Amino acid sequence: MVTLTNTLSGKKETFRSLQPDRVTLYACGITPYDRAHIGHARSYVSFDLLYRWLIFLGYDVTYCRNFTDIDDKLLKKAQSVLGDQMRYPEIAEKIIAQYQNEMKALNCVSPYYEPRVTDHIPLIITFIEKLIEKGHAYESDGDVYFSIDSFPEYGKLSKQRVDELCTGARVQPGEKKYDPLDFALWKKESEGTFWKSPWGWGRPGWHIECSALASYYLGDQIDIHGGGRDLLFPHHENEVAQSESLTGKPFAQFWIHNGLMRLDAEKMSKSLGNIIAIEDILKQYDPMELRFYFLQHHYHSPMEFSFSDLDGACKSYRRLCRALHDVAIGTFSKEHLEALPITARMLAFLKDDLNSAGLLGVVFENLDTLKENQALASAVKQIVHNILGLRLQIVPEKEQAITPEIQKLIDEREAARAQKDWARADAIRDQLTQMGYEVRDRK
């Protein structure tokens, strides 16, 4: 029995695919307007773990992850950086290329489909037209909105009540929707900009894109829809409303949400300004150290990021690499791995809601035993390498790179010392220590 926590029921449920031996998996992808951060990295490592696990279980998995390459934030970025919002594809192209390199470095298997929204506008327009035909959406002065009233089950995924959501909600001046909870499927733009539709020129809203792409690539009913917990409302709730209104069938049978990455007790997000870019962290750490750090936490729990915890994870990861270094990766059958006591315990943790943290606990408890039993070590390495996706190559010890941000702190501390402001100098030293840097003053 294999279980996963399904947000729809709020419970751990036994996983069964809709079709025997086949699983369809959709994960919401990035909006390529800025570098991806380690919250994204954690999310995509979580779904990569799920993907690898399903493959190990013998499923043929079709994995689709989109790029939201048209969006307010992307247009704003193109306007501010390039002086022209219509040059947004240049920004998107650069960020997508960087993101794909980072996913490769983190050993995340590329999804079978990685569709870009801008390549699928006719598909999205057709989806919206059908929603209008069925009375679930309406046009209002060139915009199209989804009508929440037309879908009585609205709120079932995120456990929100429509009457509570309505409290205090008002249609703002200038908005063209009838009900404050209705959301945009199509946004009107001036004549000749973006795409031509039956409602005039415009561009799609965010939520409709995932509904349209998921149904096109994976079908009207999919096995697993995933994403970060921050996408649950309104994005995923709206996807459910759109897809189920159109087909009359349940959209995803499992909704899997990874817990958020927090920094200083707040969600890591661009809008809060407290993000750590994957690029910056990979200047100081090996990608496999970062992946190991994520896998030490259960995918479903929130995770508080700290450099000292990451450093601790690096030490453990190096220990693991040394222990399994001279061992060949096993090619045992699933049945064989389930018959050996230690690997059976490791797999039991994965069967129980993908508990990678528990699995690693079993490995570390048994490191001494593995030294004496090459065949067992080889079986353990097979699971850690193939399912957890850890490459297990010994990471060379390296000096940490000094980023411009760190250099600025060092300079500020030097200035404070020159002015004999010891309190300030000590405060900066503490800050640098927290960030994983050791400060040694020359005598």
Instruction: Determine, following the binding rule CB under 5 A, whether residue 144 of this chain makes contact with Zn ion.
Output: no
Q: Which of residues 115 and 330 has its CB atom nearest to Zn ion in the complex?
A: 115
The whole-angstrom separation of Cα 393 and Cα 320 is: 10
Contact status: 70 vs Zn ion (CB under 5 A): no
Residue 27 CB contacts under 8 Å (≥ 6 apart), including other chains: 43, 44, 47, 63, 64, 65, 111, 225, 226, 227
Q: Is 256 in the site for Zn ion (CB under 5 A)?
A: no
CA-to-CA separations, 154 to 23, 176, 238, 429, in angstroms, rounded? 26, 21, 8, 51
Is residue 370 within the footprint of Zn ion (CB under 5 A)? no
Map residues 96-115 to x or -, x wherever contact with Zn ion holds by CB under 5 A. Answer: --------------------
Angle between helices 38-56 and 287-295 (to 10 degrees): 70
Which of these segments, 21-29, 341-349, 388-396, 427-435, binds Zn ion (CB under 5 A)?
Answer: 21-29
Q: Which of 41, 210, 213, 324 binds Zn ion (CB under 5 A)?
A: 210
Q: Which residue matches tokens 């950086």?
A: 81
* Token pair belonging to 299: 């995918």
Contact between 33 and 272 (Cβ < 8 Å): no
Q: Minimum Å distance from CB 348 to Zn ion?
A: 32
Residue 137 or 210 having the CB closest to Zn ion: 210
Q: Which of 297-317 are b and which e, b meaning 16 or more Cβ less than 10 Å from the residue's Cβ? A: bbbbeebebebeebeebbebb
Closest distance to Zn ion from the beta carbon of 413 (Å)? 44
Q: How far apart are CA 428 and CA 413, in angstroms?
A: 6
Q: What is the signed CA dihedral for 85, 88, 91, 94, rounded to 10 degrees?
A: -160
Beta carbon nearer to Zn ion, 215 or 382: 215
Q: How many Cβ atoms sit within 10 Å of the Cβ of residue 36?
A: 23
* Site stretch for Zn ion (CB under 5 A), options 206-214, 315-323, 383-391, 418-426: 206-214
Residue 239 CB, nearest approach to Zn ion (Å): 6
Of 125 and 231, which has the nearer Cβ to Zn ion?
231
Our finding on whether 295 is near Zn ion (CB under 5 A) is: no
Residue 108: partners with Cβ closer than 8 Å, 6 or more residues away: 44, 45, 48, 389
Q: How far is CA 6 from the centre of its chain?
A: 17
Bridge partners of 263, per DSSP, are 266
Candidate segments 165-173, 197-205, 208-216, 347-355, binder of Zn ion by CB under 5 A: 208-216
Q: Using the 8-state DSSP alphabet, how is residue 397 labeled?
A: P
Span interacting with Zn ion, options 23-31, 109-117, 136-144, 246-254, rule CB under 5 A:
23-31
Segment lying near Zn ion (by CB under 5 A), choices 207-215, 243-251, 260-268, 317-325: 207-215
Alpha helices in 325-366 (DSSP H): 334-339, 341-351, 356-365
Q: Between residues 210 and 370, which has the closer beta carbon with respect to Zn ion? A: 210
Closest by CA position to 330, among listed 381, 370, 368, 394 = 381
Q: Which residue, 28 or 268, is less far from Zn ion as judged by CB?
A: 28
CB of 213 to Zn ion, least distance (A): 8
Nearest approach in angstroms of CB 211 to Zn ion is 8
The total of other beta-carbon atoms located within 10 Å of residue 282's CB is 19
Alpha-carbon distance of 33 to 234, in angstroms, equals: 21
Q: Which of 4, 8, 27, 28 binds Zn ion (CB under 5 A)?
A: 28
Question: What is the total count of residues that contact Zn ion (CB under 5 A)?
Answer: 2
Q: Which stretch binds Zn ion (CB under 5 A): 25-33, 102-110, 250-258, 321-329?
A: 25-33
Candidate segments 84-92, 202-210, 269-277, 401-409, binder of Zn ion by CB under 5 A: 202-210
Residue nearer to Zn ion on the CB measure, 253 or 343: 253
**Beta carbon of residue 133, minimum distance to Zn ion (angstroms, whole number):** 24
Report in angstroms the alpha-carbon separations of 122 from 117, 118, 182. Answer: 10, 9, 23
Q: Residue 230 or 421: which CB sits closer to Zn ion?
A: 230
Whichever of 30 and 275 has its CB closer to Zn ion, that residue is 30
Q: How far is the CB of 291 from Zn ion (least distance, A)?
A: 24
Cβ closest to Zn ion, residue 210 vs residue 288: 210
Tally of CB atoms within 10 A around 43 = 27
List binders of Zn ion among 382-401 (CB under 5 A): none
Find the shortest distance in angstroms from Cβ 68 to Zn ion. 7
E-strand stretches of 28-165 = 60-65, 137-140, 143-146
Residue 149: CB minimum distance to Zn ion, A: 23
Provide the minimum distance between the beta carbon of 234 and Zn ion in the complex, in angstroms, as a whole number. 11
To Zn ion, the closest distance from the beta carbon of 235 in angstroms equals 6
Cα separation of 189 and 196, whole Å? Answer: 10
**Footprint of Zn ion (CB under 5 A):** 28, 210
